[in-house]
Amino acid sequence: MPHTDPHQWLESLDSPEAQAWVDAQNSKTHSLLDSDARFAPLQAEILAHLQDTRQIPFFSEHGAWLYNFHQDDAHPRGVYRRTALEAYRAGAQDWQIVLDIDALAAADEEDWFLDGVSHCTLVPARVQVFLTRGGQDATVCREYDLEAQDWVAHGFDFSEGKSHIAWRDVDSVFVCPGWKGAPLTRAGYPCEVWLVERAADGQHAWTQLFAAPKSAMMVAAWRYLDADGATLDMIEASDSFYSKTYHLIDATLATHALPLPAKAEIEGYLQGDLLVKLADDWAWQGERYAAGSLLAVALSALTPDPSPSGRGEKDAQLGRVQLLVAPAAKRSIDSVETTRASLVVNLIDNVKSRLLAFDKVAGLWCERALPVADSGVIEFADQPWDSDIICYSFSDFLMPTGLYRLNVATGEQEVLRAQPAAFDASAFIAEQRHARAGDGTAIPYFVVRGKDTVLDGNTPTLMYGYGGFEVSMLPYYIENFGPHWLEKGGAFVLACIRGGGEFGPAWHQAAQGPRRAVSFGDFIAVAEDLIAHGLTCPRRLGIEGGSNGGLLVGACMVRRPELFNAVVCEVPLLDMLRYTELLAGASWIDEYGDPDDAAERAALAAYSPYHHVQADADYPLALFTTSAKDDRVHPGHARKMVARLAELGHDALLLETAGGGHSGNAAQAQTAEELARVLVYLYRQLMD
């Protein structure tokens, strides 16, 4: 294995030589894919679908308004707009534009895209607007008045950086500075927490509340606001990706660490209880709570008793810890939401969703079922402040998304919008199967295919996976792959491999750190199962993954090149011996291991795709994609992999966009172009 990296020069984002190399690679890729007769019609069809006004405009509800971010041909960068609930129910296009990002970009002569809008809960017309140049993670924050439709004079405005900024109240914000010149962690994230209080002349008062060491990962701060008006101010200090300490901020602005386990997440706060999800076992007050549990922990259980005489009878529940959801073999907790009076848990049960509600009765939380469908996947979409309403989406592979408004208190619900069908699903079937990993573990996966598919091993099949960071791969409506892949005779496969969160913390930890290769083995086992059951063959099998999923498919390609004929490797990690030196890489040491540690470096070296390219292997023509504005996973990973393949005599394709960042925050036209190129590539590799 080489000790020097001859392609390290491609990590430079300012080098004219590196840019010239990227331009040449892009030209080659565009010449091949854009000249295909299928590209232009595909791009046009996908763009028309993205701009279809019948698409569900998801919203956040604040006061009397529903707010939505919208892009179309006239507004490629997008507009922030609002409408009333009754108009939304009626399907009326009665939207008022309150902020035009295209106009702002033109006025400022900046490549602005909207990264997010944060409303002050009690004064929702005041918002923090987060703007990103070209889609990168670093943002500029400006305060905006939605009623005046103007920037606030001497408002809460902050420089570009990977900062964390959150409202405390309308006249103060928590600021964790991530801009140039601020103290940052090794991973490039904030390490200080400040309270910034408004002054009319813009000379706001800054009070430092907390500082973490440079060796930490990051800090964040926010305010919980309970329906009864109670507030709870909190700091989250992350030592690493999964290990953190929570600190309460008291009325004097002093901070107090909470004695929660390091690997626990606070999912919410309601009626004096913190909702805590455990990733490790926790022994507390003589009881043991298992990893994967959801607990309601009375805040008084974690803080000193304020009364000198201890608890009285009326405080019998003080110090209580209640188990709400126990872990189970095929179950995990996807998300938790709180309403005015209830908490709602979105469970993933055998890779399908199920909602549970809990209400507090005589000091204890009591479970009840909610009348929602449980045959697909639910995602929380919105929870209007000081209400018992939850809005959620529901879909599966073949069912278009529906947006529902549920009254948690009464169980009544309505369908607010239903997405139009992108294709006729009656000809297709979605089924869950299981492959057997090398250690005997059953690995679930989904196959979406034609009902009349002949199992002769000749079906073009695209397999998608992720397998990291406890992120679950769940069924979703394949609105673009339906008409442009399934209807052309292809099959789609979603693999639920270890490293993800489908079955809770243990499923994730089985492929964490030095056990990373377990996820690669699981993915390969699914591929082999597809072939063994006659769905496809290596000539017709392609794999796709992004970010950590890019690492997955890159590793599988160099391990088993004979098994695949297409590899779509998007915004990937590939050089696992230098990843901690590139952008946010150091924040993922918990997930992958530390190259500076000898034992962990050996484990990383054993699978690092960049270091395992061989001259005598027969690799498929792979497509690597990245963005020059990706300030999370460095573009150098994809660049160097393509250069390394070429150095050893193998052809590969690189597509590096000028904007979009890691999450693809770009105009719809760019999104349509990128998807059209991926589809053309897949047609050429798997169908032609």
3-state secondary structure 109-125: CCCEEEEEEEECCCCCC
Mean pLDDT score, 435-462 = 98
**Per-residue model confidence (pLDDT) at position 572:** 98
Strands 652-657 and 218-225: unpaired
375 vs 211, which has greater pLDDT?
211
DSSP letter at 419?
P
Query: Taking Cα atoms as reference points, which of 502, 543, 499 lies closest to residue 522?
Result: 499
Mean pLDDT score, 91-97 = 94
Percent of the chain with pLDDT over 90: 93
2 vs 289, which has greater pLDDT?
289
**Per-residue model confidence (pLDDT) at position 374:** 78
Q: Which residues of 310-339 are buried (b: 16+ CB within 10 A; e: fewer)?
A: eeeeeeebbbbbbebbebeeebbbbbbbbb
**Per-residue model confidence (pLDDT) at position 371:** 87
Q: What is the pLDDT of residues 104-131, one digit of tens each?
A: 999 999 999 999 999 999 999 999 999 9
pLDDT band (50, 70, 90) for residue 626:
very high
Query: Taking Cα atoms as reference points, which of 314, 167, 321, 309 lies closest to residue 233?
Result: 167
pLDDT band (50, 70, 90) for residue 229:
confident
Residue 390 has pLDDT above 60, yes or no: yes
**Per-residue model confidence (pLDDT) at position 4:** 84
Percent of the chain with pLDDT over 70: 97
Mean pLDDT score, 566-577 = 98
**Per-residue model confidence (pLDDT) at position 188:** 96
Question: Rounded CA gap, 571 and 637, in Å?
Answer: 8
Residue 80 has pLDDT above 90, yes or no: yes
Residue 301 has pLDDT above 70, yes or no: yes
Residue 327 has pLDDT above 50, yes or no: yes
What percentage of the chain's residues is helix, strand, coil (to nearest 5)?
Answer: 25, 35, 40
**Per-residue model confidence (pLDDT) at position 315:** 42
**Per-residue model confidence (pLDDT) at position 228:** 78
In which residue are the tokens 């086992």 written?
A: 525
Mean pLDDT score, 139-158 = 98
**Per-residue model confidence (pLDDT) at position 580:** 97
pLDDT band (50, 70, 90) for residue 264:
very high
Question: Rounded CA gap, 223 and 235, in Å?
Answer: 9
The per-residue pLDDT of the chain, averaged, comes to: 95
Cα 267 to Cα 275, 343, 358: the distances in Å are: 5, 10, 14
**Per-residue model confidence (pLDDT) at position 310:** 37
Q: What is the CA radius of gyration of the chain?
A: 25
**Per-residue model confidence (pLDDT) at position 319:** 67
Residue 633 has pLDDT above 60, yes or no: yes
Residue 102 has pLDDT above 80, yes or no: yes
pLDDT band (50, 70, 90) for residue 316:
very low
**Per-residue model confidence (pLDDT) at position 678:** 98
pLDDT band (50, 70, 90) for residue 317:
low
Question: Rounded CA gap, 266 and 224, in Å?
Answer: 11
Residue 308 has pLDDT above 80, yes or no: no
Lowest mean pLDDT among 20-29, 294-303, 435-444, 672-681: 294-303
Would you name the residues annotated as active-site residues?
A: 547, 662
Residue 271 has pLDDT above 70, yes or no: yes
Cα 301 to Cα 21, 304, 319, 678: the distances in Å are: 59, 8, 4, 53
As a whole number of Å, the end-to-end CA separation of the chain is: 37
pLDDT band (50, 70, 90) for residue 318:
low
Residue 19 has pLDDT above 80, yes or no: yes
Q: What is the pLDDT of residues 423-434, one digit of tens each?
A: 999 999 999 999
Residue 660 has pLDDT above 70, yes or no: yes
- pTM of the predicted structure, to 2 decimals: 0.95
Q: What is the dihedral of CA 11, 14, 17, 22, to 10 degrees?
A: 60
Sequence-distant (6+) residues with CB within 8 A of 439 are none
Sheet holding 231-238, edge to edge: 218-225, 231-238, 244-249, 255-257
Residue 41 has pLDDT above 50, yes or no: yes
**Per-residue model confidence (pLDDT) at position 3:** 58
DSSP 315-351: GTTTT-EEEEE---TTEEEEEEEE-SSEEEEEEEESS
Mean pLDDT score, 583-607 = 97
Say if residues 413 and 504 touch (Cβ distance below 8 Å): no
Residue 266 has pLDDT above 50, yes or no: yes
**Per-residue model confidence (pLDDT) at position 656:** 97
Lowest mean pLDDT among 10-14, 133-137, 296-300, 311-315: 311-315
Residue 307 has pLDDT above 60, yes or no: no
**Per-residue model confidence (pLDDT) at position 27:** 98
Residue 120 token pair: 């002050």
**Per-residue model confidence (pLDDT) at position 676:** 97
